[in-house]
A and B are shown apart, each in its own frame.
Chain A
Amino acid sequence: MTRSVSNSRTAAFVGVHGLLLIAAALMLTPFVWLLCAAFKLNEDVVASTFLPLNPEGFLGVAWNRLTVIHFRTLLGSLGLGRAALISVFLSATTAALATLLCAAAGYALAKLQFRGRTWAAALVLAAVTIPGPLLLAPSYTVLYQISLLDSYWGLILPAAAPAFGVFLFRQAMTSSVPDQLLEAARIDGCSELRLFSLIALPLVRPMVGAFMLITFLGAWTNYIGPQIVLQTPAKFPLAVFIAQLKGTYYQDYGLLMAATLVSIIPVLGLFLLLQREFISGLTSGAVKG
């Protein structure tokens, strides 16, 4: 009896881990491919699937054909460092600003009574469904009218007011900030703005982390936006910088893959730092209060 239970438990354990390992292997394959390609010479990117082979090399791999030249070129003559700095600036500023603005608006909609609240909430809901591409062309005109073309703010400000963020924070505030707590603090003489910054915001900390990561990521990988708004090459962030490497008639795959690798690593690190909050934050936004 006990044995059969433990047997079936072992079988389940093996089965579950087997499935997970297969899934993980499939998910990792493109990364492994990318990692290999980044260290290969251009002709080997074409000729070998993963690492270039040589039966005489250690583990059958032609180690001497691997190279770090792409990274050297990127950081040296091509000036990837500056593009990376600009990407960090754009993404971090957008993330911080968008989080603050959306949290404030979400708090107001969830926790404060005022005339027009129903309308404002409806506006947010409706705005979530507006397809971004509809605004692609008119936005360019608007940026021109207010002289924000070729400026970082022309990228940051439009991205700092996503309706979706307000929606998420309204959910989080509704479910995580008890009215009684706010009420009691009001009786204690706490001002409304302090209520928001000192009580409500800390209570939705997971949402703050999650939303920061999402907006950071969105800004980091944004490719069409900077390509339209920024004109001076010295202002290009990583995504555009890498797209520029992809020549019209000539492609250096090794270089492209090395640049791709460099642009993935920072966000991976950031995710590791924010992982826990991110996951609980996603829940508080997705779950109804």
Chain B
Amino acid sequence: MTPALPASGPLGPQASAAAPRRRSLSGPALAAWLLLAPWLILFALFVLWPLGEAARLAVLQTFGPSATNFVGGRNFSALFADPLFWIAVRNTAIYAATSVLIQLPLALGLAMLLNRPDVRARAAFRLIFFSPSLVGVVYVAMIFGIMFEKRTGLINRALHSTIGWDLEYPWLQNAIMAALVIASLWQWVGFNMVYFLAALQNVRQDLMEAARIDGAGPWARFRLVTLPAIRPVAGFVVLLSVIGSFQLFELPYLMLNSSAGPENRGLTIVMYLYQTGFEIGDLGYASAIGWVLAVLLVVCAVAQRLLSRGEEDAA
């Protein structure tokens, strides 16, 4: 979130950094490289090297070590003309958007409820809301896969007995995205709530009180006092959610029994990458998908930074 320099004060870091440099020129620099080195070595080995490999693959069509054809940009041109890829992009974007628009406001709402001074058993509630994020996605998929079944599934049974919902409603065929959003809502809403809960500690109570005395209603107080205080965290949480959503794979893959569901309603970008790379064995095409995804994520991150910087400037 911050630019490379930790502080923008004209005398801040420069002044403090100048002092040691005068005494021992290489001290901090040497220490910096020593401290960075272990991480950097592993990073180079397990991220940069495979990344280079992925770049090489993206212009090839390979099958095994002996069969390699150079195809240049054809993996990418085929990808952009591939209707399945666009279905995957659309599904993933829908999931990301609904996750952010439904899950994050709910998380914030829960955090605000819990943050009220008169709440009893706060720690217990916090633990209950948070605990689903401790359950791995394998188990979430397993549990929700069974709960979303028609006729016998808990969700249809409960909705049937309360609001007369169709007992045979096939969630995992007709409403895959909704099922995924609900399952991941359960898993992550508490986690995001904790971020917001922490952010709410930055809300200045004196400002809140002043606004109250000035006669500001709850909505005005939220907009004018709470929101500005939690904005940095909110931006961060939105970015994390979007990045996470764009990498959605294991949940639908496991919930739909290693398929994309009828009419590819559950196909996501990473699932398509996985299917082409590991099920059809076309690693070059899979790499091309991976690179497009990487570009999408970089665009999201840059957009978020620009937005938050714009807000800062406006403030």
Contact = CB atoms under 8 A, between A and B. Distances in A.
Interface string B232-254: 11001100000100110110000
A101 interface: yes
A158 B49 CA distance: 12
Contacts of A158: 42, 46
A192 B27 CA distance: 7
A20 B125 contact: yes
A166 interface: yes
A53 interface: no
Contact of B186 (A30, A122, A137, A180): A30
B32 A134 contact: no
Q: For the complex, would chain B's binding face be called helix, strand, loop or mixed by DSSP majority? A: helix
Given A128-B243, A183-B20, 18 more contacts: A23-B110, A27-B131, A112-B35, A132-B247, A135-B46, A137-B57, A137-B287, A141-B53, A174-B7, A217-B134, A239-B138, A243-B138, A268-B131, A271-B127, A279-B197, A280-B198, A286-B236, A287-B236
Contacts of B6: 110-111, 174, 289
A16 interface: yes
Contacts of A263: 136, 139
Contact of A134 (B137, B138, B154, B294): B294
A110 B133 CA distance: 30
Contacts of A268: 131, 134
A174 B47 contact: no
A59 interface: no
Interface string A198-209: 000000000000
Interface stretch (B82-90, B93-101, B111-119, B170-178): B111-119
A168 to B, nearest CB: 10
B38 A142 contact: no
Given A20-B113, A193-B31, A289-B7, A137 B119 contact: no
Contacts of A78: none
B195 interface: yes
Nearest to B143: A30
Interface in B147-175: 147, 152, 154, 157
Interface stretch (B69-77, B208-216, B271-279): B271-279
Contacts of A289: 2, 6-7
A113 B21 contact: yes
B287 A108 contact: no
Given A111-B6, A256-B142, A280-B198, A133 B134 contact: no
Contacts of B315: none
Interface residues of A, number: 101
Interface in A107-126: 107-115, 117-118, 120-122, 125-126
B54 interface: yes
B232 A288 contact: yes
Q: For the complex, would chain A's binding face be called helix, strand, loop or mixed by DSSP majority? A: helix
Interface-central residue, A142, A193, A195, by most chain B CB under 10 Å: A142
Contact of A264 (B21, B53, B135, B298): B135
A217 B139 CA distance: 14
A242 interface: yes
A101 B2 contact: no
A31 to B, nearest CB: 7
Contacts of B7: 174, 179, 289
Contacts of A5: none
B185 to A, nearest CB: 10
Contacts of B135: 221, 260, 264
Given A20-B113, A283-B233, A272 B127 contact: yes
B51 interface: yes
Given A105-B36, A286-B232, A24 B274 contact: no
What are the 6 tightest A-B residue pairs by CB atom distance, in nearest-first order?
A221-B136, A134-B290, A192-B31, A283-B198, A138-B53, A161-B42
